[in-house]
Amino acid sequence: METREEIFATIQNIMVDMFELDAAEVTLEAHLYDDLDIDSIDAVDMVVELKNLTGKKIKPDDFKAVRTVSDVVDVVETLVK
């Protein structure tokens, strides 16, 4: 998981698997809560999955500002660099 595109593809796969979403719905612009119907419990589950994937802890404060799939990619991109 090096490039932004690879990070996005990984996150997209996680979201499709975990939340039974259609991959076409999971775009960088998609709003987690409004477009994808992901609630706070789902978000916590995703943070745990991303921690397992990266081996790095995501601070809750870093994830509070996340609103779109692109924001999630930004957080993970920062962690893996």
Query: Active-site residues: which are they?
Result: 39
3-state secondary structure 37-49: CCCHHHHHHHHHH
Tell me how far apart the alpha carbons of residues 40 and 32 are, in angstroms, rounded to a whole number. Answer: 10
